[in-house]
Copies of this chain bind each other. A is one copy, B any other.
Amino acid sequence: MTGSLEALLAPQSVAVIGASDEPGRIGGRPIHSMLSAGFAGRIYPVNPRRETAQGLHCYPDIASVPEPVDCVIVSVPASVAVEVIADCAKAGARSAIMFTSGFAETGASGSSAQQQIAGIARSSGMRIVGPNCLGIFNLEIGWFGTFANTLASCKLPCGPIGIITQSGAYGSHLFTITQNRGVGSTYWVTTGNECDVDVAEVISCYAAIDSIRVIVAYAEGIGDGERLRQAFADARAARKPVIFMKVGMTEAGARAAASHTASLAGSDSIYDGLFAQYGVWRAETTEEMADIAYAAQFDRYPTGNRISLQTISGGVGVQLADAASRRGFEVTPLPETTRAKMLEVIPFGGVNNPVDFTGQALNDRTILDRCMELTVEEGGYHSHIIYIASLAASPFTRDLSLSVFRQLRERYPDELFLMSMIAPEEIRRRYEEMGYPCFEDHSLAVRAMAALRHFKLVFERGAPRPAAKLPAGVLPVPGAMAGEQDAREFLASAGIPVVDGAQAATADAAVQAWRRIGGPVVLKIASPDIAHKTEIGGVLLDLDDEDAVCGGYATLLDRARAAAPDARISGVTVSRMVRGGIETVLGAVQDPVFGPVVMFGLGGIFVEVLRDVSFRVAPFGEDEARDMIDAIRGRAVLDGVRGAPPGDVDALARALSRLSVLAAANAATIDSIDVNPFLVLPEGAVAVDALIVPRRD
């Protein structure tokens, strides 16, 4: 079922090295848990100093275990760990789980030991989880490759959630919280230092397991960005929501992450970009992760934005309306005719949406029945949130509430209702069994509904159209000495529109260039040693006759020699003078984790002051580029403001997509591409200046 991780997630045979007779000890708890949970596979305790462990025969070493096992649990000290892992590989074990800590997280010597272990995994093909992890469990088959006391916090039957975390301690925290929240998990993996198996591979694997419908992941750092990207693509293809907490986004957090695992922190906004690209829901708190996973496990998603809000409290109605609008839902009023009918039932209530059926609902069940019936039958909503305060719990109304909502569910089995109620766990379970997700905080119910809508859109959109191929005849990457004109010609050859221009080594050449361009031009000093041309007066605008161009050439060379006597000067660039247009900035950089990523922002203060930029991992198509453009706060500028005409967003999106393809195709040779400014015109767009920094390795 799960490719190369099957031996880890669903082993038939397990060896426990350092097996203990004590259920409480690290070497004892896995055995104890499996025995209590009725693990059907074969368990081989390994311990030279014992005859038996917890009633099972003990073997002196892994070599003497009668079969090559699917998985070995290793909890020996770091000092002997490498040796033991080597023995396991020799004995033909298909996989191993290493609890042992004291490796990469502790510094240089630990890292090299971890390298050896990784080497064994590569050479032998034995898959390894850890080291410095809390292991794995699979409740479906009673498999406990962990010393976490899972069974103690296990309150629910197996559910559709698969959990994957790097941190072991946080992994068990998350499991406890989700259990308390009513989230039914079956699979749980902690990857620790990730010498072999990493979070990304487990996500891909979860995507392939039918019984997993929702993936909950936690990571502090990512080693292989491409694999993570593939994992997200797999999950999206399988239409499984991914709820991801990525931490270490602040400097303090990154410092803590580095000292906790040996992970690259990377740039947090690039993670935001990647998550947006693949429709991953980024959770900021554990509570949010649990809440969204909880809602998603019911496997019902809103097919549109129109939402109905039903409430027993007008005040809560107002809050629901606020929250729903802010989350992008349409709180559409009920049809006039429906409102009239409803007023007959609740003359003092609110019938506009929110529907406020008031405290009267406590006395008269027909009110709830009728309001819900009218709303569902005539409102044309895609989803509903129903707030009933303590109605479901109060001894006076408990039975009424239960029968009302049972009937509602029977009449409308496919309708999406989220409930907000104050009720003890056992009562909430009754409603959950009827297919009502329950939330104590009504505002958080709205957040969950927004997440469900988000996932629905992601599933519907599926994989965006791929990027167009590069045109034939793309020029070679300019070298370190390349000037503005080389950069522009390189971009142009890749199909990115650039301003018409030429480089001129003499005044005559400059004049010829101006003649060819046929209109006002800009002259800029051309020198690999002068980065900020304007600061030395190295730019002349709007020249449109022979004398001006000729004189301009001389002026620029004089200024350059005066300001930077040693600068190598290759003449000037002559470019068509472009008027108007919306100033934007396009960039491509090599991220240590994700490789080539593309940045987009509006010019000037938008980037410099507001840091209003969006990222995507390259390559990507024009649809993705459009999302990327829409992601910035200043987006409206492209629609034209202060009397300016709207910009050609299609041309902009095309350029971004082509830049992403170009950066991806030349990842090995280009360190960064900076297109600044890139002017978006009413029709078309042009790169006015560009800087390409080749990789120096």
- Tell me the A residues contacting B by CB distance below 8 Å: 24, 101-102, 105-106, 149, 152-153, 165-167, 169-173, 176-177, 180, 218, 220, 245, 247-253, 255-257, 259-261, 284-287, 312-322, 324-326, 331, 333, 348, 350, 352, 354, 356, 359, 389-390, 394, 396, 422, 440-444, 604-605, 608-610, 633-634, 636-637, 641-642
Interface pairs A-B: 10 shortest CB-CB? A167-B315, A170-B315, A169-B313, A253-B322, A260-B314, A250-B325, A252-B331, A285-B443, A252-B321, A256-B321
Give 8 pairs: A residue, B residue, CB < 8 Å, sorted on A: A105-B348, A173-B313, A177-B441, A253-B319, A260-B315, A285-B441, A286-B441, A605-B642
B287 touching A444, Cβ below 8 Å: yes
B250 touching A326, Cβ below 8 Å: yes
A318 touching B248, Cβ below 8 Å: yes
CA A251 to CA B331, docked complex, whole Å: 10
- Min CB distance A676 to B, Å, is 13
CA A147 to CA B247, docked complex, whole Å: 48
CA A331 to CA B440, docked complex, whole Å: 33
**Which B residues are CB-close (under 8 A) to A610?**
610, 633-634
Contact A604 B356, CB 8 Å, known A314-B169, A331-B252: no
Beyond contacts A170-B314, A257-B318, A285-B441: 18 other A-B pairs, Cβ-Cβ < 8 A, are: A105-B314, A106-B348, A153-B390, A167-B315, A169-B314, A170-B313, A170-B316, A176-B390, A176-B422, A250-B322, A253-B321, A255-B321, A256-B314, A260-B350, A284-B443, A286-B441, A604-B642, A610-B633
**Which B residues are CB-close (under 8 A) to A642?**
604-605, 608
**Which B residues are CB-close (under 8 A) to A180?**
422
Q: What residue in chain B is nearest A149 (Cβ atoms)?
A: B394
B287 touching A318, Cβ below 8 Å: no
- Min CB distance A592 to B, Å, is 19
A317 touching B260, Cβ below 8 Å: yes
- Min CB distance A59 to B, Å, is 28
CA A389 to CA B530, docked complex, whole Å: 57
Contact A252 B633, CB 8 Å, known A285-B443, A315-B166: no
**Which B residues are CB-close (under 8 A) to A248?**
318, 322
Q: What residue in chain B is nearest A446 (Cβ atoms)?
A: B285
CA A206 to CA B446, docked complex, whole Å: 33
Q: What residue in chain B is nearest A324 (Cβ atoms)?
A: B252
- Min CB distance A76 to B, Å, is 16
CA A385 to CA B247, docked complex, whole Å: 18
**Which B residues are CB-close (under 8 A) to A166?**
315
CA A634 to CA B318, docked complex, whole Å: 32
B609 touching A422, Cβ below 8 Å: no
**Which B residues are CB-close (under 8 A) to A637?**
605, 609
- Min CB distance A11 to B, Å, is 25
Contact A389 B169, CB 8 Å, known A321-B252, A356-B260, A443-B287: yes
CA A320 to CA B170, docked complex, whole Å: 12
- Min CB distance A310 to B, Å, is 12
**Which B residues are CB-close (under 8 A) to A604?**
642
- Min CB distance A453 to B, Å, is 16
